């Protein structure tokens, strides 16, 4: 859609309705195109952001869909960690 500057000024809501409908609006001055108003890409979608980062090589997308397996903490035997650190420091002193 093309609009002259005067028409765009008078009917700005018409231009915005066209942009919301996914169309580009070309603004002209004396018949020459000078600007474009176009819809912006929705980059707030989580999947879109992940796909963009994967395309840039920043992350690797998961190969499986669905929930992650349940986390099971590892059982550690021995004394408390704080006592282990104290013992280690005493050995160095």
Mean pLDDT of 11-15: 91
- Domain span holding position 31: 1-58
Count of structural domains, the chain: 1
**Per the domain annotation, does 67 fall within a domain?**
no
| pLDDT reported for residue 17 | 93
Ordered DSSP codes for 13-63: HHHHHHHHTT--EEEEETTEEEEEE-PPP-TTSHHHHHHHHHHTTS----S
| pLDDT reported for residue 33 | 95
For the segment 31-88, what is each residue's pLDDT rounded down to a tens digit? 999 999 999 876 667 788 888 899 999 999 988 888 888 888 888 888 888 998 999 9
Integer Cα distance of 11 and 86 in angstroms: 76
| pLDDT reported for residue 42 | 67
Question: Torsion angle of alpha carbons 27, 29, 32, 38, nearest 10°?
Answer: -10
**Per the domain annotation, does 80 fall within a domain?**
no
């Amino acid at each position: 859609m093309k609009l002259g500057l005067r028409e765009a000024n008078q009917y700005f809501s018409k231009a915005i309705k066209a942009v919301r409908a996914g169309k580009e609006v070309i603004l002209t001055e004396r018949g020459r195109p000078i600007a474009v108003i176009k819809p912006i890409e929705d980059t707030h979608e989580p999947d879109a952001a992940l796909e963009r980062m994967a395309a840039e090589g920043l992350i690797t997308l998961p190969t499986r869909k669905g929930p992650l397996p349940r986390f099971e903490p590892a059982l550690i035997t021995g004394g408390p960690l704080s006592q282990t650190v104290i013992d280690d420091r005493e050995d160095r002193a």
